[in-house]
Amino acid sequence: MILRKPIALEDDASNRSWHNSSWSRAPLRWQLAIVTALMVAAAVGIMTIVAYWTVSTSLNRSVDSQLESVARSMLSRSVDPAFNKRIETEIESFKAYNPDTNILYFPPGASRGIGDNIPLVNEGEVIRGEIPISFRNQGDQRVLALNNEVGATVVLAQDLGPTYALVSSLGMVLLIIAGLGTLMAIAAGMVVSTTGLRPVSRLQRAVEHVTETDSLEPIEVVGRDELAQLTRSFNDMLESLEASRRRQTELVADAGHELKTPLTSLRTNIELLMIVSNSPTATISNEDRRDLEKDVIAQIEELSTLIGDLVDLAREDSRVQNAEFVDLGDTMSNALDRVRRRRPDVKFDFVRTDWYLFGDSFALGRAVVNLMDNAAKWSPPNGVVRLNMQPISDSEIHISVADSGPGIPAADRAKVFERFFRSVQARSMPGSGLGLSIVKKVVERHHGTIEVLDSDDGGTLMQITLPGSASEAIIRAQHPEEKLATEH
């Protein structure tokens, strides 16, 4: 069997581009089948080569062993002095039993051999007694030369034609087996790929169904293998998409409902003002006109606040955050300054301490502003809103905002963070019902919690728990990339 070195493909850019594009466009089923077939074919090929080499080597060794055994048997009789006298008879007897083997015998000390004409190449070293034995190939013959202790030498040449024919037949059989094994490997690869990719096909059909029908129904999970885990992950994604869609639908519905009331009132007041302005017979007192104008301005402000809250809520739902190093004390001080300018009629007490964390400074400031605005709204005239920062451990802090208002009923405390929820007492007050919902989302995004408690004087206490540290160095060490961003 002759093995030829495979022709190497040129590793140029065009070949790589063709291979990558053709392979990547092939169906995954075919890719798996081809890879499986190549691996099995390589294994079958290696096993075929090893089997051929092993059998061929064993046959050659068997021939050498048989030749050496025959030669030693012949030389064992040469010790008898009478052997050399009947050498021709012995040779004829040998050839009668070994018709496919030529023999040339050299008596001790002789320079010419007796027997068949066998060309000598390196057998002279054996004849002279320099080496005891030698083997070589000559055409289709295996030539052996063996010398014994008395100086006699026998040279044997055995025809290897039958052996070569047997080896060739063996190689052909192994080649046929390798071919059949490759075909079976391709068939097995197709079966394995088809069976193994059946869940993937089912997942693909489900994705196409979602694309075509916009339906987010989960897929049936079969088994516990990796494909089943992939299906579960896909179902989790569908569930998240369904929840996101549901939140968007609820937000649009609630926003439309909340926008409808101020828009209706605004439209009514504007139409009334237009009627009074355009009709010479319609009259209205200056006081009523001023009241209508104040209502219009208040409704416009209410719409602006509601739209701003909706934008803030959509921003929190998107989970986009500008992560940065935050000095929480500075953030709360800045928020307090903004609220004081808007509510000069309310007194604010702020107990500050050093606290640092990694998060969204703007969102945290907006959350604190919402809490203080809410507390100021419910505080009585000349009331006091108390803002306090109190570390409860090395890694957590309480931020509390307390007022002296009527407080929140226990039955409503679990609902105050829902979108657009307004208690019976709050419905007569301005507001959209989104402020506390935004606060909760900001706090949860910073891995904190918020709860509603009673203040010391019977009002409401909003208490936030946030992670962080009183040491600036610790927070900066935990987020070295923020330090680099600051330096650059």
Q: What is the DSSP string of 432-486?
A: -S-HHHHHHHHHHHTT-EEEEEE-TTSSEEEEEEEE-BS-HHHHHHH-HHHHHHH
Fold of domain 18-184: Beta-Lactamase (3.30.450)
Residue type, 412: D
With both helix axes pointing from N to C terminus, report the angle between 435-445 and 361-378 in degrees, rounded to the nearest 10: 140
Give the chain's largest Cα–Cα span.
164
* Cα atoms in the Cβ-side hemisphere of radius 13 Å centred on 115: 25
The residues spanned by each domain of the chain are: 18-184, 226-298, 321-487
Could you give the C-alpha distances from 98 to 91, 94, 95, 103, 157, in angstroms and in order?
10, 6, 5, 10, 11
Cα separation, 286 vs 280, in Å, equals 15
248-258 pLDDT per residue, tens: 777 677 667 66
Beta strands 347-351; 384-391: pairing state: parallel
Residue 363 three-state SS: helix
Query: Looking at residue 488, what is its pLDDT?
Result: 37
Could you give the C-alpha distances from 479 to 322, 364, 395, 475, 476, in angstroms and in order?
14, 19, 15, 6, 5
Confirm if 238 and 207 have CB atoms less than 8 A apart. Answer: no
Confirm if 157 and 118 have CB atoms less than 8 A apart. Answer: yes
Kindly state the tokens that stand for 221: 């999970």
Residue 223 falls in which region: left (phi positive, over 0), alpha (psi -120 to 50) or beta = left
Buried b (16+ CB within 10 A) or exposed e, 349-368: eeeeeebbbbbbbebbbbbb
With both helix axes pointing from N to C terminus, report the angle between 28-77 and 161-196 in degrees, rounded to the nearest 10: 160
Sequence-distant (6+) residues with CB within 8 A of 310 are 251, 255, 432, 434
Query: 3-state SS string over 173-204?
Result: HHHHHHHHHHHHHHHHHHHHHHHHCHHHHHHH
Cα separation, 210 vs 33, in Å, equals 29
Q: Which residues of the chain have pLDDT under 50?
A: 1-14, 18-19, 320, 424, 426-428, 431, 483-488
Class for the domain spanning 321-487: alpha beta
Query: Looking at residue 149, what is its pLDDT?
Result: 82
Confirm if 448 and 437 have CB atoms less than 8 A apart. Answer: no
Buried b (16+ CB within 10 A) or exposed e, 117-130: ebeeeebeebbeee
Q: In what order do the strands lie in the sheet with 396-402?
A: 347-351, 384-391, 396-402, 460-467, 449-454
